[in-house]
Amino acid sequence: MNYVIFDDYKWENFFPITLTRSTADLRVGILKLRQRLNEYFKINKQRIIISDHLEDIYSARFPDWQINKLNNGKTIFLNSRLKVDKDIAKKINELPENTCLTSNDDILAAKMNSKESVVSIDRILSMFENLERIDINKNYCWQYIWELIACNSEYIEQDFQDFFYDKDNYFETELGITVLNPYNIWIGEGATIKPGVVIDASSGPVIIDEKALIMPNAVIIGPVFIGKNSIIKAGAKIYKGTTIGPMCKIGGEIEETIIQAYSNKQHDGFLGHSYLGEWINLGAGTNNSDLKNNYKNVKSYFYPLKNKVDTGLQFLGVIIGDHTKTGINSTINTGSVISAGCNIFGNEMIKDFIPALSWGKFSNLNEYKLDKFIETAGIVKNRRKLEFSIVEKKLYQSIGKLK
């Protein structure tokens, strides 16, 4: 049986994070959506259907993946937005041939004989038009980027039980480290925890992955996940519902926030109920609001409507796309969206929506010249001994047209 993970037209619901990645590579809990599907369906060969503008960069990064191509044979198609669990995985594997599983207007999965062909997300749903539909009366798909933030605590706990609880644990109690509920803590090989650190897993698990560094006097209150090679700075306060991907540097105060990877918030300042992509740097003293003064629901910019919508959430901070930077002492209003490739500074409050490749103060935004952006992005990646590649340059050229 072939398994194919596909993005559909709702990939735009997750902009600006999905401007630079497949919906399948959104992180919630400990894992990315794709990784969770791989685990539940025991997928070994990665086959994905993604937006055409992402095809070159995915092909360069993952040359052994099958991208936007189908093989002959029996195939199960899995929506990348699927909220997978054991029950829905069983239903999908037991689907009769030539049927699809649906929920509201979403196709969760389909089973059919595919033919060798090239396909894209613009055509993927048309392939299922003549299949018999089996509808389930439950929402089994992620609909909006802010849903991932709201559910992150729940998914950290679920992933801990499903994928980490029984793995080899390198947790050792060291002198000078305070630990509450050690059975709810998982430490990866090579992780370093310095004296004065407090790890409180009494309200949820704390997972510190391989080679992470927790510097002195940091406080971590679960449920929290800290990814491989990430650094938690001295005196940092990491509260529940926080997922920090690999290769990040985090200081100050952070809660109910997801960071994909390779992003820095090294200094004092508050970051709450937010979602950050990769290669982001928040200048010293950057703070965001995640609660309105009148305690009403937060509205946030929604790309498909090109307008702000009611998220239904009382708490929502900021959503920031890849390779965006903020200057020192930046203040970000509740529910703001800052797209990819921006450089924002000054003493004015950042609010509402900032398009991709913007540069300057909030009240006087200019187009961030592509050559200048590429120069800075290259310097940033070279510091990690990585290269800002030709396909990445082409990606940001296309993002400039999508903004």
Residue by residue, DSSP assigns 312-359 as S-SB--EEE-TT-EE-TT-EE-TTEEE-TT-EE-SSSPB-SEE-SSEE
Res 402: pLDDT = 63
CATH of domain 2-143: 3.90.550
Each domain of the chain, given as residue ranges in start order, spans: 2-143, 144-262, 282-403
Tokens of 131: 């299949």
CB-neighbour burial class of residue 108 (10 A; exposed 0-12, middle 13-18, buried 19+): buried
Q: DSSP letter at 123?
A: H
The 3-state DSSP class for residue 377 equals helix
Res 12: pLDDT = 94
What is the distance between the alpha carbons of residues 342 and 325, in angstroms, rounded to a whole number?
6
Question: How many other CB atoms are there within 10 angstroms of residue 123's CB atom?
Answer: 12
Contact assessment for residue 310 and residue 292, using Cβ atoms and an 8 Å cutoff: no
Phi, psi torsion values for 136, nearest 5 degrees: -120, 140
What is the distance between the alpha carbons of residues 343 and 351, in angstroms, rounded to a whole number?
14
To the nearest 10 degrees (0 to 180), the angle between helices 390-402 and 52-61 is 160
* pTM exceeds 0.85 for this model: yes
Per-residue pLDDT of the chain (403 residues), as tens digits, is 899 999 999 999 999 999 999 999 999 999 999 999 999 999 999 999 999 999 999 999 999 999 999 988 899 999 999 999 999 999 999 999 999 999 988 999 999 988 888 998 888 888 898 899 999 988 899 999 999 999 999 999 999 999 987 777 877 777 789 999 999 999 999 999 999 999 999 999 999 999 999 999 999 999 999 999 999 999 999 999 999 999 999 999 999 999 999 999 999 999 999 999 999 999 999 999 999 999 999 999 999 999 999 999 999 999 999 999 999 999 999 999 999 999 999 989 999 999 999 999 999 999 999 999 999 999 999 998 899 999 999 999 888 766 5
The amino acid present at 380, given as its one-letter code, is V
Tokens of 189: 């090989």
Residue at token pair 């990784």 = 35
Contact assessment for residue 108 and residue 92, using Cβ atoms and an 8 Å cutoff: yes
**Cα radius of gyration (the chain):** 21
Q: Rounded to 10 degrees, what is the CA torsion of 121, 123, 125, 130?
A: -160
Contact assessment for residue 35 and residue 18, using Cβ atoms and an 8 Å cutoff: no
Cα 112–113–116 angle (5° rounding)? 130
Largest CA distance in the chain: 65
What is the distance between the alpha carbons of residues 15 and 32, in angstroms, rounded to a whole number?
16
Res 201: pLDDT = 96
3-state secondary structure 186-254: EECCCCEECCCCEEECCCCCEEECCCCEECCCCEEECCEEECCCCEECCCCEECCCEEECCCCEECCEE
Cross-strand pairs, 79: 6
Question: How many other CB atoms are there within 10 angstroms of residue 323's CB atom?
Answer: 30
Res 400: pLDDT = 73
Cis omega (within 30 of 0) for bond into 216: no
Q: DSSP letter at 273?
A: S
Q: DSSP letter at 72?
A: S
The 3-state DSSP class for residue 170 equals coil
Phi, psi torsion values for 402, nearest 5 degrees: -80, -20
Question: How many other CB atoms are there within 10 angstroms of residue 390's CB atom?
Answer: 11
What is the distance between the alpha carbons of residues 67 and 73, in angstroms, rounded to a whole number?
17
Structural element, H or E, at residue 33: helix 33-41
Domain 144-262 belongs to what topology? Answer: UDP N-Acetylglucosamine Acyltransferase; domain 1 (2.160.10)
What is the distance between the alpha carbons of residues 209 and 224, in angstroms, rounded to a whole number?
11
